[in-house]
Amino acid sequence: MKITETSIKGLMVIEPKIFTDSRGYFFESYSKAKFAEASINIDFVQDNQSCSNRGTVRALHAQSAPHAQTKLVRVIQGRVIDVAVDARKDSPTFGKYETIELSAENQKQFLIPQGFLHGFAVLEDNTIFAYKVDNYYSKECETGVRWNDPTLAIDWGIPANEAIISDKDQILPLFADWVSPF
């Protein structure tokens, strides 16, 4: 397992060691011990899975305290552009973001600390997205920013006029009007 920090402190890319043979492949999709070797100690409590068609954008989401979440995200089937925006007010990279392509082919994972906005755009039909979180879902603590915010200007890798967005996500505030709870 290879763990690499991005240009944003605490935001990591995880590349599992994949064993391939005549039957197919095997890999450890998560190891508490291997994370601990890299001084990453997270108590994950919930696993989530969603399936989406091409053009779906689920973004940009977070939960505030006392339900802030670290997320370990990956793709089981298909392909996404995954985005993490640093929303930690005292961070030198506040408002900066990283994108990564996650796919069933590359089996990369993104480890997104508490204090980030997170979202993804789906590049293939029937994409299955899976993630672990270290705090339970709380509707009351949900917060977020509009996916197509002009200040953030995220390149989602899909034409904006083809984006499929939930009603809830369409009315999220713009980044400039949003008060980060982190």
Q: Which residue is nearest to ligand TDO (CB)?
A: 137
Residue with Cβ nearer ligand TDO (21 or 167): 167
Rounded distance between C-alpha atoms, residue 58 and residue 55, angstroms: 10
Q: How far is the CB of 91 from ligand TDO (least distance, A)?
A: 19
Structure token digits, residue 65: 């305290």
User: Interface with ligand TDO by CB under 6 A: which residues?
Assistant: 48, 50, 58-59, 61, 71, 118-120, 137, 166, 168
CA neighbor of 144 nearest in space, from 52, 63, 55, 56: 63
Give 63: exposed, middle or buried? Use CB within 10 Å, 0-12, 13-18, 19+: buried
Rounded distance between C-alpha atoms, residue 105 and residue 63, angstroms: 30
State the greatest distance between any 2 C-alpha atoms of the chain, in Å, as a whole number: 54
Q: How far is the CB of 44 from ligand TDO (least distance, A)?
A: 13
Residue with Cβ nearer ligand TDO (45 or 174): 45
Q: How far is the CB of 45 from ligand TDO (least distance, A)?
A: 11
Residue with Cβ nearer ligand TDO (50 or 170): 50
List the catalytic residues: 61, 131
Residue with Cβ nearer ligand TDO (151 or 166): 166
Structure token digits, residue 159: 């034409």
Alpha helix (H) residue ranges in 19-153: 32-37
